[in-house]
Structure 1
Amino acid sequence: MPVTANKDTLLCMSMAARPGNFGVRFHNHLYEQLGLNFYYKAFAPTDLPAAVAGIRSLGIRGCGVSMPFKEACIALVDELDASATAIQSINTIVNTDGHLKAYNTDYIAVAQLLDRYKVPRTRFALRGSGGMAKAVVSAMRDAGFTDGLIIARNEQAGRALAQSCGLQWQAQLGDERPALLVNVTPLGMAGAQADELAFDETAIAAAETVFDVVATPADTPLIKTARRLGKRVISGDEVAAIQALEQFVLYTGVRPADEQYQQAAAFARG
């Protein structure tokens, strides 16, 4: 809690099936550095409608939304920003006097990283079909990635996502060897699936770029294998930092200086 916590302290939170500390450390570090009377806490809700109702009734200023709640929350808010409407997936809720407006800052983060790393517009395979996958593939499509596969065991969701972006769907990667591999599933995330590779080593060896959106841990089995094989790597903690910055701005109305942002991201990773 901030040292000066009082009745006017504004609370922000996040909801995830497996909460991590990145957002907690990132936001609270910036609140302290900038002298803002805010506090941030992560939760793993067991009753999503009740949790969102609590955001409204308790005056929670902002809420980050992570797997698996990015689509289920849509029906529980009052308004969607254009960033969320286009994707039909949300990762941020802002509460203004009881009015809940939802955004998607994941899209912004992915678009920035594709540009920063100058990823060639080559054939790709993206594994996943949930809310985060929608944000990632939409950002890729808008950045000019038009030749790709959606790899998903859920055929209905996989086909729907592929068709929405003019792509193909497959249940498994098979013999495909695309130059860009993107993981948007919990595989490699801390927990029961922490040791699982999202793509096999043969596919990783044939790729040029590997992008894993899993943020905790930053060095997933996929990222470790890709680095060992000398591939261009984009990690999930980079996505987490950029999208958290955009959330911070939405919650507080304050945009930190780049140095302050970099310090907060480094602190969050530590």
Structure 2
Amino acid sequence: MTLRINRDTRLCMSLSARPSNFGTRFHNYLYEALDLDYIYKAFSTTNLEGAIAGIRALNIRGCAVSMPFKEACIPMLDGLEPSASAIDSVNTIVNTDGVLRGYNTDYSAVASLIADSGLPTDTPVALRGSGGMAKATACALRDAGFANGHLIARNAAAGQQLARTTRWAWSADMENVQARLLVNVTPVGMEGGPEAQSLAFTEAEVAAADLVFDVVALPVETPLIQLARTLGKPVITGGQVAVLQAVDQFVLYTGVRPEPALIERAARHALG
């Protein structure tokens, strides 16, 4: 089918400080393949309250929420599903007849990938970051049974708060922190950012790890992931997280769950 916009076409969208093409390519590929009368568009904003009001007023079906809006949008919604309320972070808004509810599909994506990794839950964890995605990732690890964790965050207030939430330790840097699971949930390594060529963890830290997890999705092969592969370490990429959480969003918006083979084709299209 060739996608044709008409008066009945449902709009879904995303809000991010740095919009990417992943969501637009992934969702629109599936809409076209499944002959669904939807279209997806990425946006940024300097007026979050106005943007959320626009979702309600224009009957926009759904909205993916990325940095730095995952926590700031919460007071503007009508309610939260348990996936979001448990961690006070929203990455998905669903509009049902003008009622806006927040979800967190990042949490479920991370939980699934960690379970599939087979990593023992007594593995010491170092997680760098303290924002909304860091909260979803850390809480998914905590709820999976990883009790021996360490939050690394330069923002002391946010880092200490997340450490209290997860009952992990906190420090501003990796000095004296020993970890076998390394998790980057900062913009370090992100395409187009000021630290695009930087590493969230040192080569020695990666060499000592059993698994390296970088939540940055663009590029999928971040400097950290490339280093981990070079050292023969198992990895979880931000691309894997992006696809799993986007599938859950797609189901929330449309009520349709694509077949795995179609999801794989959409992922290659979006990440290629």
TM bucket, shorter chain = over 0.9
Cα RMSD (Å): 1.1
SS in 2 for 1:39: strand
Match of 1:162 in 2: 163
Counterpart CA distance in 2 for 1:187 and 1:268 is 22
Choose the corresponding residue for 1:204, options 200, 203, 206.
206
SS in 1 for 2:112: helix
Residues 1-270 of structure 1 aligned to structure 2 (within 5 Å):
3-121=3-121, 122-191=123-192, 192-270=194-272
Letter of the aligned partner of 1:94 in structure 2?
A: V
Q: Is the 8 A contact 1:188 1:214 kept in 2?
A: yes
Counterpart CA distance in 1 for 2:224 and 2:178 is 16
Q: CA deviation at 1:33?
A: 0.5
TM-score by length of 2: 0.97
The superposition leaves residues 19-78 of structure 1 with CA deviations (integer Å, 9 ceiling, x where unpaired) of 111111110000000000000011111111111111111111100000111000101111
Q: Is the 8 A contact 1:64 1:92 kept in 2?
A: yes
Counterpart CA distance in 2 for 1:8 and 1:93 is 20
SS in 1 for 2:195: coil
The superposition leaves residues 216-262 of structure 1 with CA deviations (integer Å, 9 ceiling, x where unpaired) of 11011111111111111000000000000000000001111111111
Counterpart CA distance in 2 for 1:3 and 1:208 is 45
Counterpart CA distance in 1 for 2:255 and 2:135 is 27
Task: Give the percent of matched residue pairs that are identical in Structure 1 and Structure 2.
Answer: 59
Following superposition, which runs of at least 4 residues in structure 1 exceed 2 angstroms of deviation?
1-4
Q: Is the 8 A contact 2:3 2:32 kept in 1?
A: no
Counterpart CA distance in 2 for 1:107 and 1:219 is 22
SS in 2 for 1:14: strand
Letter of the aligned partner of 1:87 in structure 2?
A: I
Counterpart CA distance in 2 for 1:157 and 1:46 is 22
Q: CA deviation at 1:162?
A: 0.6
Q: CA deviation at 1:2?
A: 5.5
Q: Is the 8 A contact 1:2 1:39 kept in 2?
A: no
TM-score by length of 1: 0.98
Q: CA deviation at 1:267?
A: 1.3
The superposition leaves residues 98-129 of structure 1 with CA deviations (integer Å, 9 ceiling, x where unpaired) of 11011000011001101112122200100001
How many residue pairs get matched?
270
Counterpart CA distance in 2 for 1:162 and 1:211 is 19
Counterpart CA distance in 1 for 2:188 and 2:229 is 17
Q: Tell me, which stretches of 5 or more residues in structure 1 are unaligned?
A: none
